[in-house]
A and B are shown apart, each in its own frame.
Chain A
Amino acid sequence: MNDLIVARGLSKSYGATRALNDATFTVAAGRIVGLIGPNGAGKTTALKAVLGLARYQGELSVLGLDPYRQRHSLMQNVCFIADVAVLPRWIRVRQLIDLVAATHGRFRRDVCEQFLSRSDIKRDSRVRELSKGMVTQLHLALVMAIDAKLLVLDEPTLGLDILMRKQFYETLLNEYFDEQRTILVTTHQVEEIEHILTDLIFIDRGRIVLDASMDEVQESYAQVAVRPEQLAAARARQPIAERQGLGRTHMLFRGVDRTELERLGDIGVPSVADLFVAVIQEART
């Protein structure tokens, strides 16, 4: 098993609040992993630990390195966007490209120029003269031109309009991602990335409440549009969530046999958002 990130018992406190509480998870090579959690769940803290930006308790290895102690070596192969659209405002686009090219051995200028050629970004503009969307495009063009083993994105599409968000994830999937690369991404907008994710990690109140591949999720979780006459029978199967739909009650089941569920109603694949809400609520009670 080729695990890029192995975290065991990761903890981190800020004063009295425990941002990370005994978190254990792994990220395998060649996957697109969504780290999903409500605000203040510890997503950013976990990413900071992975990137060697924050001290932590517990065991953590990224690309076989200790990210806090060996941050410099780690950054040769890891690339991240911590705050999208936050680039130095005084710099010109051309200067920025020159700088990344001069300081990053794995940066490919032609790839960056190719991404940029699709935008209206002028090479002589200063970053502060660009719109927020353009700064994001620039940031992404820079990062996607770096041949990194691990790309970490923290809320990469925050503040972008829906067209750009869609375009961003399409580019990421079609033109950047391949089996050699691994992407770890956090976001609020689960709906937009669920079709590109291969793995899910749910985090709540510093704890990992789910760490599974999409395939595993689809095997063990099922959403059933329960027929009205089966309501009592369905509830007896202990669904982890229940909500009213149009004329039908939708229930989310974990680890219940498919043939049994078929008798209760129509089986569907739960959306990540529904799954997320259900798993978090279950974990909190």
Chain B
Amino acid sequence: MSRFFWLVRREIWEHKAIWVAPLIVLGCLLLAMLTGNVHLGPIGSMDAATPLGNLPQEKQIKLLLVVYAGLALVVYIVMGIVAFFYALDSLYSDRRDRSVLFWKSLPLSDAETVLSKFAVAGGVIPMVALLGALLAQLVVAGGGSTMLEMAGASGRIMWQPDAIFGGAAVAAIWSVTAVVWYAPVIAYLMLASAWAPRGPFLWAVLPPVAVSVLELVLLRSTHVEDFITGRLFGLYKLLGWRQQSGGDSPSEIRISDIDLSASLRDFYASPELWLGLVAAALMLAGAMWVRRYRDETA
């Protein structure tokens, strides 16, 4: 087990983006807070006719939840991009610099290697993302309350436990949900990374694009495209969050419309999720096989 721990550490040494990217996001957020140059959706309205403090508490919490969840989403999108490029690079970078034969001279099985990299993409990066989201919420809560105080209002409304813990809970649920949903995407990218003779990005992206275009041209249908976009963007549809696009003024946002627990129940019962996990396992096994039997020096 400690070997596995060291292999995971190795990945974090090599791929600094895993912790640098969230720090940059937090840094930008902090800078925006300090310069007061921030327009965080509904909070921006606090100097308008209906300051946040004048709303009933229930509405305040809903508003803050949207803000905190939105922050988590920003961090997750950034970390999703990090995970994308990490997975794409994971089984290719040591082939590019030829150090793969050094790694292969150590008594490590290729299964261990592939699993350690998958653990980083599907475990470490989401955990860092969650931590980043929580810190971002604290930064905004701190900044928001300071701004409120300076405007002569009470800053304590930013720190309402229901909003803070509610935001944290949403962030945590999203991170787990995103991992199980995107596991097959990560596995696919790792398979491409293990297999690509060079330039894994093109090898990963071109085949699905080419097949989609071919289907469109030859059959005039979009099954492949629908399948791919469904996997990449369908998470939100599956979770029923499209209802959120209801109102555009803060008082009309009805987060209560979203029954999170019911959505999650549907999500974890959906065959798409479980088929995706099976596909992820198969593609990971494929990545191990390619890594093991590929002739590195030919």
Contacts and interface: CB of A to CB of B under 8 A. Distances in A.
Interface string B90-103: 00001001110111
B13 A75 contact: no
B111 to A, nearest CB: 9
A91 B14 contact: yes
A86 B104 CA distance: 12
Contacts of B292: 71
B107 interface: yes
A53 B295 contact: yes
B7 A88 contact: no
A271 interface: no
Interface string A66-95: 000001100110011111001111111001
A44 to B, nearest CB: 7
Contacts of A82: 101-102, 104-105, 297
A104 B99 contact: no
Contact of A75 (B6, B10, B105): B105
5 contacts: A54-B297, A82-B104, A88-B97, A88-B102, A88-B103
Contact of B297 (A48, A90, A139): A48
A102 interface: yes
Interface in A79-129: 79-83, 86-92, 95, 98-100, 102-105
Nearest 4 A-B pairs (CB), nearest first?
A102-B6, A82-B101, A75-B107, A88-B99
Contact of A90 (B14, B101, B102, B105): B14
Contacts of A83: 98, 101-102
Interface of A: 14, 44, 48, 53-55, 71-72, 75-76, 79-83, 86-92, 95, 98-100, 102-105, 139, 143
B295 to A, nearest CB: 5
| Residue of B7, B10, B105, B109 most packed against chain A (CB within 10 A) | B105
Contacts of B101: 53, 82-83, 86
B298 interface: yes
B296 interface: yes
A279 to B, nearest CB: 27
A175 B64 CA distance: 68
A14 B107 contact: no
Contacts of A105: 107
Nearest to B99: A88
A34 B97 CA distance: 28
B297 A102 contact: no
B106 A75 contact: yes
A231 to B, nearest CB: 48
Nearest to A107: B106
Interface in B110-166: none
- Chain A CB within 10 Å, residue with most, of B97, B106, B296: B106
A91 B98 contact: no
B6 A14 contact: no
**Max count, chain B CB within 10 A of own CB: residue among A80, A82, A89:** A82
A103 B2 CA distance: 9
B13 A95 contact: yes
Nearest to A106: B107
A100 B106 contact: yes
A95 to B, nearest CB: 6
